[in-house]
Amino acid sequence: MVEQLRSMSGEPVERTLAALAAAAARPGAPADSRVQVVDVGGGSGTRAVPLALLGCAVTVVDSSVNALAILHRRAEDAGVAAAVTGIQADADRLDTVVAPGSADLVLCHHLLEQVDDPATVLDRVVGAVRPGGAVSVLVAGRLGAVVSQTLVGRFEQARQVLQDGDGRNGPADPLRRRWDVDTVTALLTAAGLTVQSVTGVGVLAGLVSGAARQAAPGGEAELAALEAAASVHPELLRIAADLHVVARRPA
Ligand SMILES: C[S@@+](CC[C@H](N)C(=O)[O-])C[C@H]1O[C@@H](n2cnc3c(N)ncnc32)[C@H](O)[C@@H]1O
């Protein structure tokens, strides 16, 4: 399984998850001993199924019956139904459906923007991961939203996102909050996690117009290289559309 995981390609978040799962795999362990992944708010399985295909056992905990139905179909179609378990539960009750300290890796992607109390959810996430295990958190970035709203002429909304305490553009904003590098790092640290890396997802590539792409034929590879450099640039990554944080529960 380790070799299979190391050879995985794909977009950056997928590659990071594969590397985390590979690092959790115990060389020489029995063939049926799988890396245990919990995907909280994992929805329809866009992360769960690729990880199951790599040999992980994945439990998706999601409040939506519809999302879990799609997850089961997707897992069956991919031939990994036996490795994917869907559980309908609220994230703040994760401790009632996942054994404490049982997960090698917990994903919490685009969930903290929606829940009542992010600190409670993170407390449950920390309880589910084993000591030394990894946590992958993906959240919407506040500054990325300011830039993207500005570029489409929504100046008032951009200013609201910038100035609002939760990074919202008003009561109709579908997200309850957005994050800065400092605020999401502080949240994870307060939960008892050690932050290992913060990466920007969609720093520059999403800002490039179709006209600019056409004006630079063959420039896609250059743009991808630029995006890869920007995603880890300590100042530039702050304007990413999404912030990806990898953290560990202290051993
Ligand atoms: C924006 S989707 C993200 C799905 C997936 N994690 C991803 O990144 O593609 C949010 C998911 O969280 C689920 N969700 C929202 N609030 C939840 C809660 N309080 N407890 C558990 N799941 C929740 C939704 O049903 C949905 O599937």
What integer pLDDT is reported at residue 145 of this predicted model? 97
Question: Cα–Cα distance between 205 and 239 in angstroms, integer?
Answer: 12
Q: How far is the CA of 50 from the centre of ligand 1 (A)?
A: 18
Question: Cα–Cα distance between 109 and 91 in angstroms, integer?
Answer: 12
List per-residue pLDDT tens for the chain, 251 residues long: 434 433 334 589 999 999 999 999 877 776 668 999 999 999 999 999 999 999 999 999 999 999 999 999 999 999 999 999 999 999 999 999 999 999 999 999 999 999 999 999 999 999 999 999 999 999 999 999 999 999 999 999 999 999 999 999 999 999 999 999 999 999 999 999 999 999 999 999 989 888 888 787 778 888 999 999 999 999 999 999 999 999 999 99
Q: How far is the CA of 109 from the centre of ligand 1 (A)?
A: 8
Residue with the smallest CA separation from ligand 1 atom 8 is: 109
∠223-242-21 over CA atoms, to 5°?
90
What integer pLDDT is reported at residue 85 of this predicted model? 98
Q: How far is the CA of 221 from the centre of ligand 1 (A)?
A: 32
| Residue to substitute in 111, 117, 136 for testing ligand 1 pocket (most ligand atoms within 8 angstroms of CB) | 111
Q: Cβ contacts of residue 75 below 8 Å, gap of 6+?
A: 45, 48, 49, 52, 81, 83, 84
Q: Are 126 and 191 in contact (CB under 8 A)?
A: yes
Whether this model's pTM surpasses 0.85:
yes
Q: How far is the CA of 87 from the centre of ligand 1 (A)?
A: 12
Question: Cα–Cα distance between 165 and 142 in angstroms, integer?
Answer: 10
Residue with the smallest CA separation from ligand 1 atom 12 is: 41
Structural domain spans, the chain? 2-141+179-203+239-248
Q: Are 128 and 98 in contact (CB under 8 A)?
A: yes
What integer pLDDT is reported at residue 10 of this predicted model? 55
DSSP codes joined into one string, the chain: -HHHHHT--SSHHHHHHHHHHHHHS-TT--TT-PPEEEEET-TT-TTHHHHHHTT-EEEEEES-HHHHHHHHHHHHHTT-GGGEEEEE--GGGGGGTS-TT-EEEEEEES-TTTSS-HHHHHHHHHHHEEEEEEEEEEEEBHHHHHHHHHHTT-HHHHHHHHHSTT--SSTT-SSS--B-HHHHHHHHHHTT-EEEEEEEESSSGGG--HHHHHHSTTTHHHHHHHHHHHHT-TTGGGG-SEEEEEEE---
Ligand 1 atom closest to the Cα of residue 90 is 20
C-alpha atoms less than 13 angstroms from C-alpha of 99 in its C-beta half-sphere: 6
Q: Which residues line ligand 1 (CB under 6 A)?
A: 41-43, 46, 62-64, 67, 90-91, 109-111, 114-115
How many residues are listed for the chain in this entry?
251
What integer pLDDT is reported at residue 19 of this predicted model? 95
Q: How far is the CA of 43 from the centre of ligand 1 (A)?
A: 5
Q: Which fold has domain 2-141+179-203+239-248?
A: Rossmann fold (3.40.50)
| Residue to substitute in 64, 70, 84, 138 for testing ligand 1 pocket (most ligand atoms within 8 angstroms of CB) | 64
Q: How far is the CA of 63 from the centre of ligand 1 (A)?
A: 7
Q: How far is the CA of 44 from the centre of ligand 1 (A)?
A: 9
Tell me the backbone φ, ψ of residue 233, rounded to 5 degrees. -75, 125
| Residue to substitute in 17, 60, 63 for testing ligand 1 pocket (most ligand atoms within 8 angstroms of CB) | 63
Q: How far is the CA of 111 from the centre of ligand 1 (A)?
A: 5
What integer pLDDT is reported at residue 215 of this predicted model? 81
What integer pLDDT is reported at residue 218 of this predicted model? 77
What integer pLDDT is reported at residue 7 of this predicted model? 38
C-alpha separations of 68 from 53, 61, 62, 122, 195 in Å: 18, 9, 7, 22, 30
